[in-house]
Amino acid sequence: MIRLVDLKRQYKTIRKDVRKAIFGVIENTDFILGAELRAFEEEFARFCESKHAVGVDSGTGALELALHAKGIGPGHEVIVPVFTFYATASAVATVGARPVFVDVEDDTGNLDPGKLEAAVTPRTKAVIPVHLFGQPANLSEIAAIAQERNIALIEDSAQAHGAKVRIGGSDWKAAGSVGEMGCFSFYPGKNLGAYGDGGMVVTQSDAHAARLRLLRDYGRTGKYEHSILGYNKRLDTLQAAILRVKLKHLDSWNRLRRRNGELYDRLLGKAGLRTFKTRDYTEPVRHVYAVRVPDRDGLASFLKENGVATGVHYPVPLHMQKAFAAYGYNKGDFPVAEKMAEEILSLPIFPELKESEVKKIASLVVRYHRRGKK
């Protein structure tokens, strides 16, 4: 079976360095906010072209703390795309603000800038574009609207470690470095994944970084001294040590993902399969490779029968999740996202996936597609 994500293949290539890193932390008994975490924060900040990086417990925690750092809470609204993982909107709700959903572009799944301004109200304090599947959103247009309407831009970069986006025609920036803060997840299946949960907030702001460090560690200013109400949302030093090992390989892993994605594009495009478009202002990192087919479940079953695992990202748009029912949205409010959720299917695209395996998977998808057209 070809897995959707095969972390065992990756581990075999870095086993020695990972074990050394883990046992180094254990030998030093440096478990909480330790030296490995501080080193990783410095390295990840450079990687993201940012002045600061603050390690936290998860991508969800990164979003929550970024919102707290901006003082966003009850009575405020935050705009988010309606087609993404639950945490983008739940983070808004858990700080007491209201998530306001906006539909997405039909060919990328990213927040549609053309529909953004209509969602802004006097209560709007921020917009959180998601760089879906590793392709940055249209930050040039989104940032311009945010600046004009005086709302904060917070990037959900949970799927976009190492992605680039062009701003203003020629200025290329790292995903996460454009907004006031960029929020990353190190969930195991991410392009840069821990062996447990983890997250990071990057920022150019000294003030934001200082407040984030207080918020993640009980508001602590000294031993048993707490200046503000904070949380226990620290990135574990063991995970940071593992992530330091992996970060050294991330550029090469992303290149392999792009190679696999481009091969899928060619093979599936020839057969008329519908895939997501790569914008010319982005350099994506292919976290997920998705196709859109009317008979999604049938294709998934066919691939499983032929030894290929698949996934669905995502089967239920956020406005149709029971957790957000109180906000009063209805089926039909966001037709692009709703149609996408019915058709989308994710194929394997991890770095260790062989070219021959990509060709096999593409061949199976094309065979099923042609069979359905007869």
> Which one-letter amino acid corresponds to residue 96?
G
Under 8 Å between Cβ of 159 and 186: no
- Give the pLDDT of residue 57: 99
In sequence order, the 6+-apart residues with CB closer than 8 A to the CB of 247 are 40, 43, 44, 47, 192
- List the structure tokens of 237: 């030093």
- Give the pLDDT of residue 352: 98
pLDDT averaged over consecutive 10-residue blocks of the chain (374 residues)?
A: 98 99 97 98 99 99 99 99 99 99 99 98 99 98 98 99 92 97 99 99 99 98 96 98 99 99 97 96 98 97 99 99 98 99 99 99 96 68
- Give the pLDDT of residue 95: 98
Q: What is the pTM of this model?
A: 0.98
CATH of 7-247, one of 3.30.43.10, 3.30.70.20, 3.40.50.2020, 3.40.640.10: 3.40.640.10
Alpha-helical regions (H) of 29-138:
35-47, 59-69, 87-94
Give how far the C-alpha of residue 312 lies from the chain's centroid of Cα atoms, to the nearest Å.
Answer: 15
- Give the pLDDT of residue 170: 78
Domains of the chain, by residue range, sit at 7-247, 250-373
- Give the pLDDT of residue 31: 96
Crossing angle of helices 206-216 and 59-69, in 10° steps, is 120
Q: How many CA atoms lie less than 13 Å away from 211 in the CB half-sphere?
A: 16
Under 8 Å between Cβ of 103 and 79: no
The topology (CATH level 3) of 250-373 is Aspartate Aminotransferase, domain 1 (3.90.1150)
- Give the pLDDT of residue 373: 62
- Give the pLDDT of residue 374: 56
Alpha-helical regions (H) of the chain:
7-28, 35-47, 59-69, 87-94, 139-148, 206-216, 237-247, 250-270, 296-305, 335-343, 355-373
- Give the pLDDT of residue 203: 99
- Give the pLDDT of residue 169: 76
- Give the pLDDT of residue 307: 99
